[in-house]
Structure 1
Amino acid sequence: MQWGYAPFLYFVAVLGLEAAMQKECRIIEALQNKLTYRQRLQYMKHYFPINYTVNVQFEEVLKAANITRLRDQNVSELSLRYLWLSVNSQVLLKIWAVLLERHPSWEYTQDLCHLFEQLAEEYENYNQGNVDANVQGVVEQVLTGDAGSSQKAVPPKALLDNCVKVMWLLYSESCK
């Protein structure tokens, strides 16, 4: 009798995951629309002083090569997406923190932060216990602002360029 319910429960679970992925893909699409090259150039380069940089932790400079290296170490896609989300949320907060409310980039950065918050709400539904240990360590270090971590001065546009490249790498297959 119980075996008759197993396929039904599996089907419901798959539908639930599919619905969550569709919402996640809608948020990623909104981020892609907000992070176009033209907007990154305007809001993160032209509206900032020449050679302006933001101090971030070394781990907050997340590049596509980092993701490729972690994939080679068999880190799960969920863990990689969680890492990307956590790192870039903190980067955006650091960029936003240096802006005055009347700065032309303030509202743009606020909108990006809001989209990342929506995506974080989606990830709260996932079991964070499934995140790989080495990724969890990096995320904790970024979130706590570990003073022992080395700092790096990076232009805001370069940080968002890395964000877009990694986003494309992580979501291009699942969110077509």
Structure 2
Amino acid sequence: MAWLRVWISSWLLGLVVIHPGMSQQPPGSDPLCRALAVVNSSLALRERVHYMKHNMPINYTIPVHYEEIFKLKNVSRLRRNVEGLEDVDLQETWLRVNQGILGRIKDVLPPRHPSRNYTENLDTLFRNLGQIFPEGREPPERIERIWDVLGTKLAGRATTTATPKSLLDNCYHTMHCIFTSCFPSHADYCQRSHWRGEKKAALKKALDVPQN
């Protein structure tokens, strides 16, 4: 992961705060998209499986707020039901949710756990992402309530449990869904059906099996 630290340092030197209206730039020239490209690589399926599944006890789960189970269906529900919602509201919710999740994963990992460095590097990427998010917008009330819950401790609130891998799966899938300008594709990343064949497609690519 040394290459990741080098990239973060060089990236911060050229950091530029962007505005939501700058989406007409080519994806590769947008500072946010460049940062998300590194997050995308770090969240590749092989990384999630290795660090968040194989390195964990079988069926291991951690406690989280219900609001931290941020799936594609949550994105669809918010888009359907929240008046005045903009993509930037979903994007900042995604950032806040997953910063909290990485913190919860770090809390349960011993200092020398084989997944510790991976989780800490992801956490650094997310903290740096926060520096290039636009500031000053007041989100809809429903979004603000979600943010308020994310800032509280688990004790005394209704919680659920989830596997670390499933939480990072949600992070990866929703990232592609709500940052459409950074991940242009003919595929609809907001549809769960798109992701059902993710593991099979990744295995085919790894094995270089030609598709008929």
* Interval of TM-score (by shorter of Structure 1 and Structure 2): 0.7 to 0.9
- 1:120 corresponds in structure 2 to 130
Aligned-pair RMSD on alpha carbons? 2.2
Alignment partner of 1:24 is 2:32: yes
Which residue of 2 is the match for residue 6 of structure 1? none
What secondary structure is seen at the aligned counterpart in 2 of 1:49? Answer: coil
Give the alignment partner of residue 64 of structure 1, picking from 64, 72, 77: 72
1:36 paired to 2:44: yes
1:90 equivalenced with 2:100 (yes/no): yes
Partners in 1 of 2:89 and 2:110 — Cα distance? 34
Gaps spanning 5+ residues in structure 1: where? 1-12
The percent identity for this pair of structures is 33
Distance 2:154 2:160 in 1: 14
Runs of 5+ consecutive residues of structure 2 not aligned to the other structure: 1-17, 185-212
Q: Residues of 2 paired with 1:85 and 1:149: CA distance?
A: 22
Structure with higher RCO (Cα < 8 A, 6+ apart): 1
Pair 1:77 & 2:87 matched: yes
> When you count helix as a share of all residues, which structure comes out higher?
1
TM-score by length of 1: 0.83
For the residue of structure 1 that corresponds to 2:161, the secondary structure is strand
C-alpha separation between the residues in 2 aligned to 1:174 and 1:26? 8
For the 8 Å contact 1:58–1:149, the answer to whether it is kept is no
Question: Could you give the per-residue CA deviations for residues 58-116 of structure 1, whole angstroms, max 9, x where no partner exists?
Answer: 11100000001111134110100011110111011000111112111000000100010
Q: Does 1:99 align with 2:109?
A: yes
CA distance in 1, matches of 2:180, 2:44: 15
Aligned residue in 2 for 1:138: 146
Most deviating of 72-81 and 34-43: 72-81
Distance in 2 (CA, whole Å) between partners of 1:174 and 1:37 is 19
Partners of 2:176 and 2:183 within 8 A in 1 = no
- The separation in 1 between residues aligned to 2:156 and 2:149, in whole angstroms, is 9
